[in-house]
Amino acid sequence: MQLSGTPVSADDLARSHPADAIETLNSIGIEAATAAIATLKPEAAAAIFNHPGLDRPASLIARLAPERAAEILLRLHTDRRVDIVRHLAPSSRRTLCALLPQHVTADLNRLLNYLPHQAGGIMTTEFVSLPAETTVAAAIQHIRQVGSGKETVYAIYLIEPESGALTGVVSLRELLMADPLSLLGRIALGRKPIAIKPDAPSEDAARLISKYDLLAVPVVDDQNRIIGIVTVDDVIDTMIEANTEDLQKLGGSEALDQPYMSMSFGAMLRKRAGWLSVLFLSEMLTASAMQTYQSELEKAVVLTLFIPLIMSSGGNSGSQATSLIIRALALNEIKLSDWWRILEREIRAGIVLGAILGVIGLIRISVWQQFHIFDYGPHWQLIAATVAAALVGIVTFGSVAGAMLPFALKRLGFDPASASAPFVATLVDVTGLVIYFTIAYAILKGTLL
Amino acid sequence: MQLSGTPVSADDLARSHPADAIETLNSIGIEAATAAIATLKPEAAAAIFNHPGLDRPASLIARLAPERAAEILLRLHTDRRVDIVRHLAPSSRRTLCALLPQHVTADLNRLLNYLPHQAGGIMTTEFVSLPAETTVAAAIQHIRQVGSGKETVYAIYLIEPESGALTGVVSLRELLMADPLSLLGRIALGRKPIAIKPDAPSEDAARLISKYDLLAVPVVDDQNRIIGIVTVDDVIDTMIEANTEDLQKLGGSEALDQPYMSMSFGAMLRKRAGWLSVLFLSEMLTASAMQTYQSELEKAVVLTLFIPLIMSSGGNSGSQATSLIIRALALNEIKLSDWWRILEREIRAGIVLGAILGVIGLIRISVWQQFHIFDYGPHWQLIAATVAAALVGIVTFGSVAGAMLPFALKRLGFDPASASAPFVATLVDVTGLVIYFTIAYAILKGTLL
C-alpha cells in the first residue's frame, strides 16, 4: 500500500494488472489518483474504470479534463458507463454527455431510468444475438468479427428477426462442440430460455444465474425482446454489496455504501447516529415503564438486580430469530405465507429455550443463597421463581417478535433485512420489563410487594 | 410446491429443467424423492445431483440401490462427487467406493483430504490443459474432442510438458478471436496467471474470481502444478453459504448449515441454546455488578430507571461497530495492522455519538421534570448530568469494544465473523453498569449517595 500523496509512476500503473493498479489507486488520495490516471492511455484507463473494484470512479472522472473523461467513458462497458454517470453531479453529467456521440447518450439516458438495484440497472446492452437459422460456422465467424466489442460472448441469444423476441440461448461451449453446419435453432430446440424483466430486483438475477448455472441472464421487455444481459461478474459484485448491506443493517446502522476507511468521518457518523438516536428514543420507553413500577422497585430493590439479565436474554433470543428468518426469506427457503408455521415453531422454541435459561437462573440464585455469596432475603425462593418464569415469558416473546418482524416488514413492502438486532432488542426490552413486573406482582404479592 | 408424500411422475421430472426438478424434489419427503430419482436414467439423475441446489444429496444417494448410486456418482463432476461422498456414512462410503473404478476412488480419496471450506475442497479436477506450443486451431480441435467431459472449457491452462507447471491462461473467447495458426503461449505472453493454493480458504477463491473477473481460478500445488480449478458457480454457492453463516453468527446463533424449515426442531434448538446459555451465563455478571452497588441502589432507586436505557445504548453502538468492522475485514478493506487507526477513529466516533445521545437524554429528563410528567427529586439536574456523562462513556466504550472484538478474534486465529451482536452487547453491559455507577458516585456523592 502506498502512503496518501506519494506520486504513483505512470509506468508502474500501466504495467500492472488492472485489478492491482486499482488497489494502488484506491490506497492513495483522490488528487494523486486523478493525476496518475491522466497519464494513462484511454484504453488503459478504461480497463481500470471497467472494473467495479475501483473506489470513487465518478469523482475521478469528474476531476479529469472533460475531453479525456469522455474518451474513457466511450470505451467503457455500457453497464459501467451507466453506473459512473449515475453518480456524477448534474453539471458534470451535462458537460460529459455533450461530448459523447448521440447514440451513446440516448442509450445512456434509457438505462439511467432503471435503478441500480434493478436488473435493468446493472445490465449491459452489449451481447451477441443472431437468428435461429444461422449455422454454427456463421455464428463463430460473427463472434470473431464483433466479439472484441462485446462484454461477454459466452452465450449467443437467438431472436426472431421480425419481432426481435428471444427464442433460445446457445452457449459458446455448445457452439464449439456442434457440427459447423447445424443451425443454432436446432441446438437450442426444446429449451425455454431463462430471462428476467428489467425492473426485477438485481438479487433475482443473481438467484437465476446461481440456480440455472448460467454465465449471464438475458433481460427482456414486455414483448419478450432482449434489451440487455446481466453477467455473472456483475452478479458477484451485486451479491457482495447486498451482503454488506444486510450485515450492516443487522448490526443496526444504515448501509454505508462505501468502504469503512475511505468514508469521511462526518458521513460515517450520519449513517450511524440516525439509527442510534431512533433506538435511543424508543428505548426511553423503558424508563417510562420503570417509572410506572417505581413503588414496586422501592419495596423490592432486589428485583432490579435481575433487570439487565432478563432484558438481555429477550434481546438475544430475538436477534437470533431475526437473523435466521431474514436469511431464510432472502434465500427463498420460506415464503410470506409460511408465517403461521414459523410462529408456531418459534413459540415452541422460545418456551424450551426460556425454560433452559430459567433453570440456569434458578440454580444460580439457589447456589448464591445457599453458599451465602449473596442474600436475596427471606423470600429468595419466590424471587428465583419470578426470575425463572419471567425468562420463559420473555425469551418466548423475544423469539416470536424477532421472527415475525422480518415478515411484517416484507408484508409492508420494506426490505426484511432492515430488521436489525438492536431494533429487535429495543422492541423486546419494553415488553420484557412489563412481563417481568407483571409476573413479579403475581408471585410476590402479599410478601415483598 | 407438492405435498409431502405425493408421488411425483417420472415423466414430469425427466421433462423439466434440472433446477426445476430439484425444486420439486426438495419439497417432497425423502422417501418420495428417492423413489422419483430411482425411475430416472443415470444421466438425468446425474444432472440433478450435479446441481448444488439439491437438498440432502448424500441421504438420497445412500437410499438408492448401491449399483444405481455408483452409476450416478461416476457421472458427476468431481467436485460434486467429493461433496456428496464426504457426507455419506462410513459404511455407505465403503460400499459405493468398492463399486467405482480404481482411478475414480483414488482421485476421490485425494480430494477428500481437503476441507469443504478450502479451495481444494470445492475445486473440480476436470479442466483443459495444453502445452504453450499448441496452435489455436489444434486447441479448438482438442476442446471439441474432450470438452463435453470437462466441467468448464471457458479457460485453457498452459502447462510446461516436463514439470507440469502452470505458465499461462487463455480464455475461450481469446481462442476464438485469435488467428488459428498462432500459438497459445503467444496469446498468454507477459501475463502472470492468477492461481490459488488448495489449502487457501474458499472465500479467497471467490475474492480472486471477483477481483480479476475470471470464470475460474486454477488451484496449484507447491511445485506450481495445476491440480484443479474452482469455477464461478462454485464460488457463488460458497458466497451464499458464507453470507448465511455470517448473518446467523452476527445474530448470535451457530451457523445452521441447513435451511431453517427443513432442519429438525431439536437440531435447531441445539444450535441456538448453546450460545444463548453462554450469553446468559456471562450476562449474570450484570447481576453480580448490580449486587455490588446494592447500597447505592437502595439510596437512589431513581438511578435504576435509566439502567435499561443506558445499557442498551452501549450494546447498540457496539453492535454497529462490530458489523461494520467484520464486513470491512471480510472485504479486505482493512487489515489486521490497521487496528490502531480504527481504534482512534472509533474513540472519536463514540464520543460524538455518545454526546448526541447524552443531549437527547438531558432534554428528556428536563422536559419530564419541568412539565411535571415525572418527579426525579430535588437533585434532578445532577441525575440528568449523570445520565448524559454515562452515555458518552458507555457509547465510546461500546464502539471501541465492538470494533476491536473482530480484530482480537482474527488475531487469535478465529473467524472475525464469530463476533455476534449479542456477544458484544453482553461484553458492554457489565462494563456499562460499572461506568454508570462510578460516574453516579462521582457526581451524586454528598447529595443522593
Cell of B368: 419530564
Is the per-residue pLDDT at B329 higher than 90?
A: no
* Final residue before a domain boundary, out of B113, B147, B180: B113
Strand, coil or helix: A260: coil
* Final residue before a domain boundary, out of B113, B138, B163: B113
Q: What is the pLDDT of residue B349?
A: 93
Q: B301 and A294: CB-CB below 8 Å? A: yes
Q: Is residue B144 part of a domain?
A: yes
Q: Please state, as a whole number, how many other Cβ atoms lie within 10 Å of the Cβ of residue B102.
A: 8
- Report which of A30, A216, A6 is spatially closest to residue A119, judged by C-alpha positions: A216
Is the per-residue pLDDT at B424 higher than 90?
A: no
A-chain CB neighbours of B420 within 8 Å are 319
Backbone angles phi, psi at B431, to 5 degrees: -60, -40
Q: What is the pLDDT of residue A56?
A: 86
Residues B66 and B174 in one domain: no
- Burial of B202 per CB tally in 10 Å (0-12, 13-18, 19+): buried
Segment B95-99 long-range contacts (CB within 8 Å, at least 24 positions apart): B95/B66, B96/B61, B96/B66, B96/B69, B96/B70, B99/B66, B99/B67, B99/B70
Q: How confident is the model at residue B150 (pLDDT cuts 50, 70, 90)?
A: low
A298 touches chain B (CB under 8 A): yes
Q: What is the model's pTM?
A: 0.72
The proportion of chain B whose per-residue pLDDT surpasses 70, expressed as a percent, equals 97
- Report which of A417, A397, A395, A422 is spatially closest to residue A406, judged by C-alpha positions: A417
Backbone angles phi, psi at B358, to 5 degrees: -60, -45
> pLDDT tens across A396-425, in order?
999 999 999 999 988 888 878 777 788 888
Find out whether B119 and B204 touch, Cβ atoms under 8 Å.
Answer: yes
Interface of B with A in 305-324 (CB under 8 A): 305-309, 311-313, 315-317, 319-324
A-chain CB neighbours of B374 within 8 Å are 291
Segment B253-259 long-range contacts (CB within 8 Å, at least 24 positions apart): B253/A320, B253/A323, B253/A324, B256/A324, B259/A328, B259/A331, B259/A333, B259/B55
Q: What is the pLDDT of residue B419?
A: 72
Say how many residues make up chain A: 449
Low-confidence residues of chain A, pLDDT below 70? 1-10, 148-151
CA angle A303–A309–A311, rounded 5-degree value: 90
Q: B309 and A286: CB-CB below 8 Å? A: yes
Q: What is the pLDDT of residue A181?
A: 93
Residues B172 and B319 in one domain: no
> pLDDT tens across B280-312, in order?
888 888 888 888 888 888 888 888 889 989 988
**Pairing, β A155-159 against β A128-131:** parallel
Per the listing, cell 432442519 goes with B263
- Say how far apart CA B251 and CA B241 lie, in whole Å: 15
Strand, coil or helix: A269: helix
A261 touches chain B (CB under 8 A): yes
- Beta strand spans in A11-160 (E): 128-131, 155-159
Q: Is residue B3 part of a domain?
A: no
DSSP B362-384: HHHHHHHHHTTS----TTHHHHH
Q: Is residue A335 part of a domain?
A: yes
Q: How confident is the model at residue B1 (pLDDT cuts 50, 70, 90)?
A: very low
Cell of B147: 470438452
Q: Is residue B283 part of a domain?
A: yes
Interface of A with B in 128-167 (CB under 8 A): 140, 143-144, 147-148, 153-154
Q: What is the pLDDT of residue B5?
A: 44
- In angstroms, the separation between the Cα of residue B67 and the nearest Cα of chain A is 28
Strand, coil or helix: B200: coil
Cell of B251: 445474530
Residue of A nearest to B426 (CA): A312
Backbone angles phi, psi at A230, to 5 degrees: -105, 120
How many domains is chain B partitioned into structurally? Answer: 3
Residues A67 and A168 in one domain: no
- Burial of B260 per CB tally in 10 Å (0-12, 13-18, 19+): buried
B160: domain range?
128-238
Backbone angles phi, psi at B161, to 5 degrees: -55, -40
Residues 6+ apart with CB under 8 A from B408: none
Beta bridge partners of B196: B219
Residues B275 and B388 in one domain: yes
Residue of A nearest to B243 (CA): A243
* Final residue before a domain boundary, out of A49, A78, A112: A112
Residues A291 and A426 in one domain: yes
- Beta strand spans in A102-152 (E): 128-131
Instruction: Report the CATH number at residue A37.
Output: 1.25.60.10
Q: How far is CA B1 from CA A334, A341, A449, B28, B56, in A?
A: 12, 16, 55, 8, 17
Q: B247 and A250: CB-CB below 8 Å? A: yes
Residues A326 and A294 in one domain: yes
Is the per-residue pLDDT at B356 higher than 60?
A: yes
- Say how far apart CA B235 and CA A17 lie, in whole Å: 22
Q: Is residue A260 part of a domain?
A: no
Per the listing, cell 449455422 goes with A135
- Report which of B291, B289, B272, B292 is spatially closest to residue B427, judged by C-alpha positions: B289
Q: Is residue A118 part of a domain?
A: no
Q: What distance, in Å, lies between the first and last C-alpha atoms of chain A?
A: 65
Q: How confident is the model at residue B70 (pLDDT cuts 50, 70, 90)?
A: very high
B-chain CB neighbours of A246 within 8 Å are 243, 247
Instruction: Report the CATH number at residue A177.
Output: 3.10.580.10
CA angle A131–A133–A137, rounded 5-degree value: 95
Q: Is residue A31 part of a domain?
A: yes
Q: Is residue B256 part of a domain?
A: no
- Say how far apart CA B10 and CA B13 lie, in whole Å: 5
Residues B194 and B308 in one domain: no
Residues B178 and B96 in one domain: no
Q: Which of B26-35, B131-140, B177-186 has the lowest mean pLDDT?
A: B26-35
ipTM above 0.90? no
| DSSP class of A400 | H
CA dihedral B329, B335, B337, B338 (to 10 degrees): -80
Average pLDDT over residues B183-206: 88
Interface of B with A in 200-219 (CB under 8 A): 206, 209-213, 215
Is the per-residue pLDDT at B182 higher than 80?
A: yes
CA A290 to chain centre: 37
Q: What is the pLDDT of residue A345?
A: 92
- In angstroms, the separation between the Cα of residue A298 and the nearest Cα of chain B is 6
Residues A101 and A141 in one domain: no
- In angstroms, the separation between the Cα of residue A394 and the nearest Cα of chain B is 13
**C-alpha torsion sign, points B324, B330, B332, B335:** positive
Q: What is the pLDDT of residue A359?
A: 94
| DSSP class of B336 | G
Residues B176 and B220 in one domain: yes
- Say how far apart CA A62 and CA B44 lie, in whole Å: 54
Residues B314 and B284 in one domain: yes
Is the per-residue pLDDT at B426 higher than 90?
A: no
Residues B221 and B274 in one domain: no
Beta bridge partners of B158: B130, B168
**Pairing, β B155-159 against β B166-171:** antiparallel
